[in-house]
Structure 1
Amino acid sequence: MTEPSYLAAVRESYDTVAADYAELVKNPGELDPVSRAMLAAFAEVVQVSGRGPVADLGCGPGKITAHLAELGVSAFGIDLSPKMIELARKAYPGLSFAVGSMTGLEIRDNELGGILAYYSAHHTPPELLPVVFAEFRRTLAPGGHLMLAGHVGDDEHLRPTRAYGGHPVSYESHLLSPDRIAELLERAGLVVTARLVQAPDEGSRRTAATFLARRPEEP
């Protein structure tokens, strides 16, 4: 599969900001209680299903991957940015991290018990989200679970010029409505089992949404 053109901008941007990103982004224990609870719920349903390991897609410096491992989940991380993976491997040498893209995962069919995409799918142009969600379904085992979280909006396209320590970036963010995201997940063959929308608070300027979904059992 030919690499989508937007990935180069995302890769270069996160390579540039990697060190500052790792310093500035909250540790899981510093997240708000609702976000921590959703991660804990996801970890529990994955463990109960016993379908396989969890892939943390867009894992960045590995903080959430390590948090899942602390919750008892067999987790590994994948990120587009080699610099992010380098930081994750250094910080958490006992866990597995690899460079890769959620548009074309080097993971076998039906291999995963869970997928976490935590504030990482928003750089995907809307027209390519069906490709990404199809990869989620392909790699999840029947009965496997997905947790997708990120900022949402009204089909907004953001083009920041600087981020995380003031470094120049060239990526875009695409903020879709919760209804549209849920529809795309369902079209990909995933059943949305829960949806949580969090209004902006004093620590955030944007609305966020978390989706729990699963791949149906085979008939």
Structure 2
Amino acid sequence: MTETPSYLTTTAEAYDAVAVLYAELFHDALDRQPLDRAALAPFAELVRTGGAGTLVAEVGCGPGHMTAHLRDLGLDAFGIDLSPVMIKLAREAYPDLRFEVGSMDATDLADGELGGILSWYSIIHTPPQELPPYFAEFHRVLAPGGYLLLGFFDSEGGPVMEFDHKVTLAYRWPIDGLAELAREAGFVEVGRMLREPQEDERQFRQGRLLMRKQ
């Protein structure tokens, strides 16, 4: 049996420990972030009209508020997260949605099962050298023409930067570097967005990348 990488165990345990507070802080986060809603809306529209199906996984779903937003945008959305406590909270908050404990680099999904994947700050805790298998898994489970939307902290022109996230160790990425990793995995870029942090957010520029499986 393959041993679970230590960074995954550390990340799951760290989010278990703060899950209740995290859910309280972020349950209405999108209400205060019009640019984030503006990034999610075209993703949802492209998935709905793209012909690859409307089944969408939010990988690293946390307490489920983003998964619920995708449902409200007309998608058949479900969530996956490493943290059992986060999944418990998500199921309690949104009993009409499906949530599963799991790792986004090794899902139980069939090849080409999904029309879309949302990875909203879920790759930030992955060591850079471990990230290519995640893109390979995203590519495997997406149908041809399916869409991938990434949310992350931008390194503002610099290289990948390690930083002390409030929950556990994390990384800031150059937007071009993430786009290149996705291209190497078989994705083409559809669009990108960079926005400045709001007053109540960590003071890093934030990036969004929208990709399509070839």
Q: Are 1:105 and 2:107 an aligned pair?
A: yes
Conservation of the 8 A alpha-carbon contact between 1:54 and 1:116: yes
Conservation of the 8 A alpha-carbon contact between 1:28 and 1:64: no
Aligned to 1:15: 16
Aligned to 1:45: 46
Q: 1:29/1:200 Cα in 2 relative to 1: closer, same or farther (>3 Å)?
A: closer
Deviation readout 1:128-157 (Å, 9 max, x if unpaired): 110100000000000000000111113211
Identity score, percent: 48
Q: Are 1:201 and 2:198 an aligned pair?
A: yes
Conservation of the 8 A alpha-carbon contact between 1:189 and 1:215: yes
Q: 1:32/1:60 Cα in 2 relative to 1: closer, same or farther (>3 Å)?
A: same
Ranges in structure 1 where 5+ consecutive residues have no aligned partner: 164-168
Distance 1:200 1:27 in 2: 17
Conservation of the 8 A alpha-carbon contact between 1:28 and 1:67: no
Aligned to 2:210: 212
Distance 2:69 2:34 in 1: 14
CA RMSD of aligned residues (A): 1.3
Conservation of the 8 A alpha-carbon contact between 1:80 and 1:100: yes
Aligned to 1:68: 70
Return the letter of the residue paired with 1:194.
G
Look up the SS of the partner of 2:131 in the other structure: helix
Return the letter of the residue paired with 2:193.
L
Distance 1:31 1:147 in 2: 20
TM-superposed deviation, 1:50: 3.4
Distance 1:31 1:102 in 2: 28
Aligned to 2:143: 141
Q: Are 1:185 and 2:182 an aligned pair?
A: yes
| Alignment size in residue pairs | 208
Aligned to 1:166: none
Aligned to 1:127: 129
Aligned to 2:79: 77
Ranges in structure 2 where 5+ consecutive residues have no aligned partner: none
Q: 114-123 or 23-32: which moved more? A: 23-32
Structure 1 runs of 4+ off > 4 angstroms?
none
Distance 1:50 1:172 in 2: 38
